[in-house]
Amino acid sequence: EPEVTQTPSHQVTQMGQEVILRCVPISNHLYFYWYRQILGQKVEFLVSFYNNEISEKSEIFDDQFSVERPDGSNFTLKIRSTKLEDSAMYFCASGDPSRGTNYGYTFGSGTRLTVV
Amino acid sequence: LAKTTQPISMDSYEGQEVNITCSHNNIATNDYITWYQQFPSQGPRFIIQGYKTKVTNEVASLFIPADRKSSTLSLPRVSLSDTAVYYCLVGDTGFQKLVFGTGTRLLVSP
């Protein structure tokens, strides 16, 4: 079964540093998302990306966040100046329009970001 | 997006059938009901989706009454590996964002 691959699985960074979280979505998917989950809390939507641009973003996704699809396979989330409260699991997801509805959502295993 | 309410936690034993009910009183005509499963330190995984009546796949069944104000996820003969958080989501089709609630934490014991 095709997978969404995320790297690294765990990243520790110092407050104020920039981090880039990487995702390789399923190859024929066209919709891409980032979600995050702070320990013990809900899974929260950050941003959706389609046709090489952001289609929707949440209040969490402020100016310190950016997304990019630099080539045909990778989808990245950059956090410019990390804060302690950015510590969370970050999940990438992708969607397949040919399957329609929410069948198309496949999540990766996540990157655990720890800001110290 | 319709608000959903589901139990915070449930306990079961191996081999039992587990039914998790979700209330969604404000469901809209175009909304589908979708259930996801999440294991610790993993991303959510799609389980099943339905619009009305009953849907069954290799993993679970989904029962939706005629008024669609609630739905029940049924897991037949659970095993220890079914211990996870189960989320009920309600929304229109398409590729809009998913809005997760707190889910139901299912603990399956031997």
Categorize the per-residue pLDDT at A62 as very low, low, confident or very high, splitting at 50, 70 and 90.
very high
Residue A58 with chain B: CB contacts under 8 Å: 97
Contacts of B32 (CB under 8 A, 6+ apart): A101, A102, B49, B50, B51, B90, B91, B92, B93
B29-45 pLDDT, tens digit each:
988 899 999 999 899 99
A44-55 pLDDT, tens digit each:
999 999 888 999
A96-108 pLDDT, tens digit each:
766 655 555 899 9
CA distance B83 to B97: 26
Interface touch B44/A110, C-beta < 8 Å: no
Interface touch B98/A31, C-beta < 8 Å: no
Contacts of A101 (CB under 8 A, 6+ apart): B32, B34, B49, B93, B94
Closest to B95 (Cβ–Cβ): which among A44, A91, A95? Answer: A95
